[in-house]
Structure 1
Amino acid sequence: MKSTLKKLLPFAVVGVISGATTVGAIQYFGHGSNNGDQSYFTTAAPTASFAGMNTGAVGDDFVKAAKTTVPAVVTIKNYQSRTASRASEQDLFDFFFGDPFGGRGQQRQKQQAPENMPSGMGSGVIISPDGYIISNNHVVAGANKLEVVLSNKKSYIATLVGTDPNTDISLLKIEEKGLPYLNFANSDNIDVGQWVLAVGNPLGLNSTVTAGIVSAKGRGIGILGSQGKATNPIESFIQTDAAINPGNSGGALVNTNGELIGINSAIQSTTGYYQGYGFAVPSNLARKIVEDIKNFGIVQRGFLGVSSLDLSNDQQVQAYNKQYKTTIKSGSGVYVTGFGDNSGAEDAGLKKGDIITKIDNYDITDFADLSMSIGSKRPGDKVQVTYSRNGKESTTSVTLRDQKGGTSTRTKADLSVTEKIGAEFDPLTERFKTEYGLNSGVVSKNVSEGGEMAKIGIVDNYIIIEINGKPVNSQKDIESILNKYQGNVQVKFVDDYGRMYTKGFKMP
């Protein structure tokens, strides 16, 4: 019953592109904290200068930025149980850095690491003096212990505050004060050709600094959706030719002022090592994600409520025309192919065949633009959508909604049982139970990276037999057992080799 990665669709779906407007620094640490320095998470002032190719940013400029950045970049060691390590369907470190554009989606058995050795290592960036650290989701995925090592070699065990596979961002916390940290810059202000530095721990080489330029903006490379855990990926990467290698994941991309403009996430390579193309999550999007995680416990997702076709992608357009026997022309913008349930866009008057050209004052030339513009919003936010219909341009106001059609934010307390534990479940057939001698069981699906089920080694297509000693035969059974339950949860399950385990977690 092993799962296989889903094939990429010939056209993109934006029905549940998520987002939240970025809140200010005071709001970020003002809620739920009365003793924080409210200067954290500040954005660079609009007048801040950014070094470009014409400014000759060399020598002392790089030295200053490096001295600012290196102390705030940490090593993150990911320790996994033997069950989780063996059961992992795909090594996400290899996925993001091992031939992601050549052998994408290939599964292979991961060699077990000794229990006292990390299963993987990456980087992170300290973003507040009291120990909040931003990194990638794939750096922390599947961990049952996370160790953070500072540039001065001091080590801490970190708490995973939350993750978001849709942007490949995670937030960790260590208990310390007075730490060096980086401020977020406004990534909208960066220019192609601008000098940048990548700082991380590539190939086990701690505190490594490399320099390059911003070689492109708004790149959508299809890496998040194709790895299977991002249900509504947001990709609008900063592309850089600063050298990035395995171990740089989660590290800092900074301008020559030493301000954080991106979180390094992936490379384009046929070898798994640097070949000139690295990709970083823009700081504006990364900051929004960690603000949501800290303030609400979960990332807030706003839905435009449309499925769409990227007109800038000739291959996708041709495939769509062939499949639906249409004659849509390639060009600029995003073509509306349909609507989801409770669609705010449909209620606002958009129709199939409309071409979205702007969100607010942000030009929409391709799917990555649309992804990023909606990715900065929350449910209930209103956006001005400019669209073309039969050659005539119009604008309408759309209220974004969540997956359930609501227009308000949610917290962890509002989540369902399956959302809290990070998995959904399908019943086993009676025939299957008979053939394998089981009296009960459900099959796990949509297991979330960083969720409670994933932490104890459960992946898609494992069989859960009992919860807290009670047999389960449906998702409803699990919801009934764990609804309003507080305390330790005991899970009895069978892996894809038929081996039985009993493991537990504390109900979130």
Structure 2
Amino acid sequence: MKKFFGLVGMAVLGGALTLGGYKLLFNETVVLKNKTADTTGIIQTNYNPGFNTKPAAIDAASIDFTVAAERTVHSVVHVKNTSVRTQSNPFAIIFGSGNAERKFEQVGTGSGVIISADGYIVTNNHVINNATSIEITLNNKKKYEAEIIGTDKNNDIALLKIDADIDLPYTPFANSDSIKIGEWVLAVGNPYNLTSTVTAGIVSAKGRDLEGNRNIESFIQTDAAVNPGNSGGALVNTRGELVGINTAITSKTGSFIGYSFAVPSNIAKKIVDDLLEFGAVQEAILGVGIDREYDDEGVRIGEVYYDENANNAQLKKGDIIKKINNVKISKFSELKGQLTAKRPGDYVDVVIERDGELINKKIVLNKRDTFISRILGVSLKDLTDKEKKKYDLKGGAKIIENANRNLSYYGVEKGYIITQVNKKPVLSASEAKSMIDESDFGSGRPLFLEVINLEGEIERYALK
């Protein structure tokens, strides 16, 4: 027994000596409390040891999208467009048997945003284009027939109205100029006929112009997922306010691949106000031509169209437009976006660079009354009240410049007034331009024009 306790004592003494020696020799290298992961593998090229990314990550993660979604989801509607199309039967035409034409219904769908409690709805023009009937379905599944109040094809906006027996939930407009690149936004719509779908993203760019479009636009670009059926839906900020109308995507597949585009709310609101007050969009212009060869920051004026006594004569050829109402102008699409959101007669504060010096000007915007049909090669202008009275017309489009050889061959020249396009009456130069450019002229089908010549006589032509 004594021998056993002696062995135990020796073992305890040996362990104590070993532990004491280890602590004496290795105490400074104990790292169990401060053990960190191995970071020798990958280092980001923009790594800055003085920058702590944790607070930003916390801020991004803490953003609450539920408030914006709840405020918006019930004001975004499903839009069903039914149109009647006519199809020709070539065999019936050749053999003279059966009906040469047959009619069939074509259905398209999209989204819309209720903007007032009494049932006004904003959507895209292409969602309801050529519709013979429009059905609106609310988020609570109730359905209503809609009336078209007005459209603007150039900016792809349409205004609809439904009559409900209750006040409807709606989304208020926000100032789209205030939205910043990198700001969170939600896209709300009905993609693929799925109701009330909400996706999130950030503002990727502003003042974006899409290649291939005939018009110069000023879109808000986001990476919020938008798919077919989202057109006409809402783009809202985190407070649930409308900053844009979702309109387009760029895609090789027809589905979302990372980019979507929305008409800014300032433009959409201005178009809505114009349609309600005037029945047509009032387009405002600075009255200057743009130097298209200038590719630095800003927009350089190539020509001024006003005499020396006009307000806009404050602008001169060679001036570089830098700001409009304190909004930076880097390219023409941004200038276009600012002007599209304004009305004729509005004053704008313009900052220009002239001979290296920044100068502030207050400029009154003018009403655009000249439109160019590039397909037909003519410049058209609205008729004056005097001209309408002289020819007893409600409207028309006066040719002020003609570069079309076919028209010249028939004797149609400067001063002729177009009163009909493809047997439909023309009320304005913008309407004539749209009707001509959206026709099938140039693809084999004739373009029918009715004009009043310089002697006040009516002439009709079929151009091919």
CA pair 149-365 structure 1, distance change in 2 beyond 3 A = same
Contact 1:348 1:396 survives alignment (8 Å): no
Q: Secondary structure at the match of 2:74?
A: helix
State how 1:151-230 maps to structure 2 within 5 Å.
151-176=139-164, 177-222=166-211, 224=213, 226=214, 230=215
State how 1:316-465 maps to structure 2 within 5 Å.
320=293, 330-340=295-305, 347-404=312-369, 416-418=394-396, 444=422, 459-461=439-441
> Is 2:59 aligned against 1:55?
yes
Q: Distance in 2 between matches of 1:404 and 1:430?
A: 23
Contact 2:421 2:432 survives alignment (8 Å): no
Which residue does 1:34 correspond to in 2? none
Unaligned residue ranges in structure 1 (runs of 5+): 1-51, 87-111, 311-319, 321-327, 420-425, 433-440, 466-471, 482-492, 497-508
Unaligned residue ranges in structure 2 (runs of 5+): 1-55, 89-100, 371-380, 398-403, 411-418
Which residue does 1:257 correspond to in 2? 239
Deviations 1:461-487 (A, max 9, x none): 46687xxxxxx842579x999xxxxxx
Contact 1:307 1:338 survives alignment (8 Å): yes
How far is the alpha carbon of 1:369 from its aligned partner? 2.0
Q: Secondary structure at the match of 1:180?
A: coil
Q: Distance in 1 between matches of 2:58 and 2:452?
A: 60
Which residue does 1:504 correspond to in 2? none
Q: Distance in 1 between matches of 2:271 and 2:156?
A: 10
Q: 171-180 vs 61-70, which deviates more?
A: 61-70
Q: Distance in 2 between matches of 1:269 and 1:446?
A: 38
> Is 2:287 aligned against 1:299?
no
Q: 125-134 vs 63-72, which deviates more?
A: 63-72
AA paired with 2:343?
R
Contact 1:344 1:398 survives alignment (8 Å): no
Q: Distance in 2 between matches of 1:344 and 1:373?
A: 25
AA paired with 1:364?
I
Which residue does 1:240 correspond to in 2? 222
Which residue does 2:451 correspond to in 1? 474
Deviations 1:397-456 (A, max 9, x none): 3221112499xxx9xx9995348xxxxxx9998999xxxxxxxx97549999x979999x
CA pair 394-190 structure 1, distance change in 2 beyond 3 A = closer
Pick from 72, 75, 85: which aligns with 1:72?
75
Q: Distance in 1 between matches of 2:408 and 2:177?
A: 56
Contact 1:304 1:345 survives alignment (8 Å): no
Q: Secondary structure at the match of 1:151?
A: coil
Contact 2:85 2:105 survives alignment (8 Å): no
Q: Secondary structure at the match of 2:146?
A: strand
Q: Distance in 2 between matches of 1:391 and 1:348?
A: 19
CA pair 140-190 structure 1, distance change in 2 beyond 3 A = same
CA pair 451-300 structure 1, distance change in 2 beyond 3 A = closer
Q: Distance in 2 between matches of 1:418 and 1:344?
A: 30
Deviations 1:283-319 (A, max 9, x none): 1221111111112211111110112146xxxxxxxxx
> Is 2:293 aligned against 1:290?
no
How far is the alpha carbon of 1:57 from its aligned partner? 5.7
Q: Distance in 1 between matches of 2:246 and 2:434?
A: 24
How far is the alpha carbon of 1:393 from its aligned partner? 2.8
Q: Distance in 1 between matches of 2:84 and 2:432?
A: 14
AA paired with 2:266?
N
**TM-score (normalised: structure 1):** 0.60
AA paired with 2:283?
R
Which residue does 1:422 correspond to in 2? none
Q: Secondary structure at the match of 2:321?
A: strand
Deviations 1:48-84 (A, max 9, x none): xxxx98633668x22332222221111112222214x
Q: 128-137 vs 197-206, which deviates more?
A: 197-206
CA pair 237-334 structure 1, distance change in 2 beyond 3 A = same
Q: Distance in 2 between matches of 1:220 and 1:77?
A: 28
Q: Secondary structure at the match of 1:175?
A: coil
Contact 2:282 2:343 survives alignment (8 Å): yes
Structure with more contact order per residue of length (Cα contacts < 8 Å, sep ≥ 6): 1
Which residue does 1:148 correspond to in 2? 136
Contact 1:196 1:213 survives alignment (8 Å): yes
CA pair 81-383 structure 1, distance change in 2 beyond 3 A = same
Q: Distance in 2 between matches of 1:397 and 1:309?
A: 21
Number of aligned residues? 354
Contact 2:232 2:247 survives alignment (8 Å): yes
Contact 2:83 2:106 survives alignment (8 Å): no
AA paired with 1:56?
A
Which residue does 1:42 correspond to in 2? none
How far is the alpha carbon of 1:168 from its aligned partner? 1.4
Q: Distance in 2 between matches of 1:429 and 1:331?
A: 40
Deviations 1:478-504 (A, max 9, x none): x999xxxxxxxxxxx9999xxxxxxxx
AA paired with 2:333?
A
AA paired with 2:60?
G
Which residue does 2:27 correspond to in 1? none
CA pair 494-131 structure 1, distance change in 2 beyond 3 A = farther
CA pair 82-132 structure 1, distance change in 2 beyond 3 A = same
Q: Secondary structure at the match of 1:239?
A: strand
Identity %: 47
Which residue does 1:37 correspond to in 2? none
AA paired with 2:253?
T
